[in-house]
A and B are shown apart, each in its own frame.
Chain A
Amino acid sequence: MVGLALKSLRNRRFTAGLTMLSIALSAALLIGVERLRHESQRSFASTISGTDLIVGARSGPVHLLLSSVFHIGSPTNAISWDSYETVAALPATAWAVPISLGDSHRGFPVVGTTAAYFEHYRYARGRGLTLGEGRIFGSADEAVIGVEVARALGYRSGRSMVLSHGTGDVSFQRHEEAPFRVTAVLQPTGTPVDRTVFVSLEGFDAMHAGMRQGAAGYDPLRGFGTRRSGAGGAGHAGRGGQEKAAVAITAILVGLKSRAAALQVQRFVNEYAGEPLAAILPAATLLELWSVTRVAERALLTIAVFVVAVGLIGMLTTLLTKLEERRREMAILRSVGAGPLHVMALVAGEAVFLTVAGASLGVVLLYALLLLGAPALQAHFGLFVEIAWPSGRELGILGLVLGLGCLVGLVPGYRIYRFTLADGMTVRL
């Protein structure tokens, strides 16, 4: 029976192939949407797994989270070193890491921070950063780079790099006089860290000092609103007034001795009198972010479901249109001993085969696409897609598609069953 069904399908391989392809594409789309939703949430959550609070200038919590940790969107305004010291000195604080943002090197964000960053940053359920070789920056002209930066630009430990202000090669503000030396390349993490250049706070500031000298015609609002560069300019303007204060920073990553103190510290920061500050709980802010994106996800998922429905209806149509011409074939099969149920299984089995093969092909396509597209997703959206086995939810979706395919197969199956009972053994055209 299976052999017969396959031969019959091979005979109609063109339409069968197209049907299979449409099911494959629709299944790939559906699972892909689910995969991206899951991966983006996982990737975001894992990036901030060790940080209890993020403190920055007042702005929307989502904005602060995205800019400080994921380098998405413009950085928030600068805050003073005093604020950092105050937060770090709180009794509930276990550690506090200052970061300065707003610059990039050939498209990769540059972050000014301290050695404590490498000690306390956690990703993917508590894993710390490891240096491939070399050491953390010691002086103002040294830099540690993420693995993607090293790979993309061909940098290695010991190599000099010139950090420029603004995004990409188009920048006019190349500080030839202030080259940085790469002291270490970080091991891959699958987080935005891989795409980041780390320098010391002093180094970060020195860059700006050089920039201010060399940029006579520099417009601080140039490119305002473009990713990563715009508001950085505004930040510099703010900093210009307080040259003497050690350094200005953009945000503070805070680890607490006890999570229970989080709300209390948050309230303290929000009410801090020195300057307007805001503290966010990354996990809560992520939930807020997901609640914003949920509408879009739902819409996307709904579209994907409809695409699958269209694929299955397409299969139903092709099976049904072929049915009339197959009545003759079925009468022949009946004459050599096939029963009505055989005949039904033959037709319904085709639908099952097409859906199973289509869905499998879809999964293969999706993985191929993920493998090919992961670098682009990472480069353009900072989204790190892990190539993992299908999750339970995805398998559930696959199962649903298969189940629907089988149900769809029952329609022509039942029709041919009725035909064979009504036709008797006479062969009709």
Chain B
Amino acid sequence: MIVDLADLRYAWKNGARPLIDIPRLTAEVGERVLLWGPSGSGKSTLLGLLGGVLAAQHGRLRLLGQDLARMRGVQRDRFRADYIGVIFQLFNLVPYLSVVENVTLPCRFSRHRKARALHRSSSLEREAIRWLTALELSDREVLEKPVAELSVGQQQRVAAARALIGAPALVLADEPTSALDADLKEAFLGLLLAECAREGTTLLFVSHDHSLLPQFDRGVDFAALNRAQAQPPRDPAPQRRIA
């Protein structure tokens, strides 16, 4: 099991009512899971916990069989560098690095991922370009542009390549398609899901958008999962499905 959390509780302020209170959530190797829920329900916060950027106050959080809750901050950073790839909703790229440098960025922080990347290609640059090509972004002209000049769809694909390089076991995606229009969304999601399937990478994909569900192996209703959200009256989720 890649993800295995039980009785996990987290509050942004110590002592406050928890924002997250999840009895159990699991994900198997290679599983692609859609986690949908309303805005402000704590989805990004959960990804922060899974990424080891935040530390839960209570409960068990096992990733790849290791208990993240027991690790110290530095160890969690290490663990994230080695085994987890992250894609944000927007602004994924470091502005002063080139496209290729952005993709190879995780290899600067993880020897493990660097070694795995070099196992497949003779150099990090080549591996980066291999991933960019797989995500249909191999145009020389595009690769040499400053990242700020890329379109949003291109930026998201660069971010996906960065999340996937060096074969992390788990990819966390925080609404990476919400800034894309319908066609781009379709194309991007297709590519991401295909690459995860090919690599056997577990994908945890967070979105408001329930309609994406058919493309995933499994969907989880975050509102139903999270006990902390169950009690207060929930307004009918402001679904952003205009398409």
Q: Footprint of B on A, CB under 8 Å?
A: 1, 3-4, 7-8, 10-11, 328-329, 331-342, 424-427, 429
Asked if residues A335 and B77 are in contact (CB atoms below 8 Å), the reply is: no
Across the interface, name the chain B residue whose C-beta is closest to A336: B106
Closest 9 CB pairs of A and B: A337-B81, A11-B96, A337-B109, A339-B77, A335-B86, A424-B48, A425-B53, A425-B48, A336-B106
Q: A427 touches which one: B74, B90, B109 (CB < 8 A)?
A: B90
Q: Which range holds the interface residue count of chain B?
A: 20 to 34
> Distance in Å from the Cβ of A96 to the closest Cβ of chain B?
74
B109 in complex: contacting residue of A11, A338, A341, CB < 8 Å: A338
- Which residues of B in the span 200-238 have a Cβ within 8 Å of any Cβ on A? none
Q: Name A332's contact: one of B48, B80, B82, B92 (CB within 8 Å).
A: B92
Q: Which residues of B contact A334 (CB under 8 A)?
A: 53, 77
Check if A427 sits within 8 Å of B88, measured CB to CB: yes
- Contact A10 to B96, CB < 8 A, known contacts A424-B54, A425-B51, A427-B88: yes
Any A CB within 8 A of the CB of B169: no
- Are the CB atoms of B54 and A332 closer together than 8 Å? no
Q: How far is the CB of B112 from chain A (nearest CB, A)?
A: 10
The proximity string for B residues 48-74 relative to A, scoring 1 for CB distances below 8 Å and 0 otherwise, is 100101100000000000000000011
Q: Is A335 within 8 A of B96, CB to CB?
A: no
Report yes or no: B44 in contact with A338, Cβ–Cβ below 8 A: no
Tell me the nearest residue of chain B to A428, going by C-beta.
Answer: B91
Does B93 touch A at the CB level, under 8 Å?
Answer: yes
With a cutoff of 8 Å between Cβ atoms, the chain A residues found around residue B97 in the complex are 4, 7
Distance in angstroms between the alpha carbons of A339 and B52 in the assembled complex: 10
Q: Of the candidates B80, B90, B101, B174, which one forms a contact with A337 in the assembled complex, judged by CB atoms under 8 Å apart?
A: B80
Question: Would B54 and A425 count as touching, CB distance under 8 A?
Answer: yes
- State the B residues within 8 Å of A (CB): 44-45, 47-48, 51, 53-54, 73-74, 77-78, 80-82, 86, 88-97, 101, 105-106, 108-110, 162, 174
Contact A425 B110 (CB under 8 A): no
A8: nearest chain-B partner, CB-CB: B96
Question: What are some 21 contacts across the A-B interface (CB < 8 A)?
Answer: A7-B101, A8-B96, A328-B91, A329-B94, A332-B92, A332-B93, A332-B105, A335-B53, A335-B80, A336-B86, A336-B106, A337-B77, A337-B80, A337-B81, A337-B82, A337-B109, A342-B109, A424-B44, A425-B48, A426-B174, A427-B92
- Shortest CB–CB separation between residue B156 and chain A, in angstroms? 13
| Chain B residues near A424 (CB-CB < 8 A) | 44-45, 48, 53-54
Cβ–Cβ < 8 Å partners of A3 in chain B = 108
Neighbour of B91 across the interface among A10, A342, A427, CB < 8 A? A427
